[in-house]
Amino acid sequence: MILKKRSEPPEIFQLESLIQRFPLVHPLFPHWTEKLRRISAGFHGEQRVDNLWSEILFNLPHYLIHDLYIQKATSSHQIDTVLVTNRFVLLLEIKSISGQLHFDPQLRQFSRTNKDGSIDGMRNPDDQVRRHEGFVRNFLKEKKIPLPVVGIIVFTYPSSIVSSRPGNRIVIQSSGLPYLLDQLAAKYPDDLLNTRQTRRLADQLLQLHMDPPLRELNVPADLRKGVLCGKDCGGEMEYYWRKWTCKKCSRVDRSAHFQTLLQYRSLINQTITNKEFRHFTGIESTTTASKLLKMANMPYTGSYKDRIYQIPEEIIQIESISADLESI
Ligand SMILES: [Zn+2]
């Protein structure tokens, strides 16, 4: 049973917004596109592994928590997947890295050798798993729950070749996950918890989760402002006759500023005032700006004149819903 699904990392939208608002020739452009490529590949790899669970026939009581984020006073844990069973707890560190991969257990280094012979050093996933294992073991100890904790590294690309293993750590290709579960069920034959206790433990771990803070980007000051058309066009949109129209492709969208508000949230600030909204979108009239902001139905503080709107993660288009209802 899945207790928590995985959602798209907010960095993807953040980087896409950034890329849309800077010219190709910007010196940081290659850095952003590479970062976006890496994060997207990681997310898609994790999703591929998530899909495998639906095909796995696993008879023990078990609960899945995808992307568990735990913030502590000075550090945090982001565990790709936690599987809680009545016999053991399994932690997955999922890696989507191609090429020839090498763990050096003495130096604690992890590297990739590319086709051209060049070598990239990377964060050692074994150290990440070890940290997560330590945290979950302590948590179980505090709760006096005697379950073993097993951390594994899962590579998602069939093309990635692991040439050396990090000590005794279990390292698998994602396709080997069903077989590994059978092996673990055989290795830990005792039912240490009943179904209710297993569920309670999974719920307790899930209660530790919080949404990771949105990473702050150093957004250069020459960011392109305005309400922009979709990804493929990128043209600037103008507001008249109660709708946004793209100057480049003539696309019409009544609520195009919703996307702009979300971009503003991920690049600049999670709150916005009428003045800031006008400055960013190029709308001149305070009244029009106020109507557009109202349409987004955002929570706010302050009186009419100096209202501060809290931009939510998602903006629900109330108007279109009611329009749909009218047409039924
Ligand atoms: Zn357009």
Question: What is the rounded distance in angstroms from the CA atom of residue 236 to the CA atom of residue 238?
Answer: 7
Question: How remote is the CA of residue 234 from the centroid of ligand 1, in Å?
Answer: 6
Question: How remote is the CA of residue 230 from the centroid of ligand 1, in Å?
Answer: 6
The pLDDT value recorded for residue 328 is 34
Question: How remote is the CA of residue 278 from the centroid of ligand 1, in Å?
Answer: 21
Per domain, the residue ranges of the chain are 2-207, 237-327
List, as ranges, residues with CB under 5 A of the ion ligand 1: 229, 233, 235, 246, 248-249, 251
Question: How remote is the CA of residue 38 from the centroid of ligand 1, in Å?
Answer: 28
* Entry pTM: 0.86
Which residue ranges of the chain lie beneath pLDDT 70? 231, 317-328
Question: How remote is the CA of residue 240 from the centroid of ligand 1, in Å?
Answer: 15
The pLDDT value recorded for residue 268 is 93
The pLDDT value recorded for residue 229 is 94
The pLDDT value recorded for residue 321 is 47
The pLDDT value recorded for residue 325 is 41
Question: How remote is the CA of residue 232 from the centroid of ligand 1, in Å?
Answer: 8
Question: How remote is the CA of residue 79 from the centroid of ligand 1, in Å?
Answer: 40
SS3 per residue for the chain: CEEECCCCCHHHHHHHHHHHCCCCCCCCHHHHHHHHHHHHHHHHHHHHHHHHHCCCCCCCCEEEEEEEEEECCCCEEEEEEEEEECCCEEEEEEECCCCEEEEECCCCEEEEECCCCCEEEECCHHHHHHHHHHHHHHHHHHCCCCCCEEEEEEECCCCCEEEECCCCCEEEEHHHHHHHHHHHHHHCCCCCCCHHHHHHHHHHHHHCCCCCCCCCCCCCCCCCCCCECCCCCCCEEEEECCEEEECCCCCEECCHHHHHHHHHHHHCCCEEEHHHHHHHHCCCCHHHHHHHHHHCCCCEECCCCCCEEECCCCCCCHHHHHHHHHHC
Question: How remote is the CA of residue 21 from the centroid of ligand 1, in Å?
Answer: 14
Q: Which CATH architecture has domain 237-327?
A: Orthogonal Bundle (1.10)
The pLDDT value recorded for residue 114 is 87
Question: How remote is the CA of residue 245 from the centroid of ligand 1, in Å?
Answer: 8
Question: How remote is the CA of residue 96 from the centroid of ligand 1, in Å?
Answer: 34
Question: How remote is the CA of residue 254 from the centroid of ligand 1, in Å?
Answer: 13
The pLDDT value recorded for residue 319 is 55
The pLDDT value recorded for residue 18 is 94
pLDDT, tens digit, 9 for 90 and up, residues 237-247 = 999 988 999 99
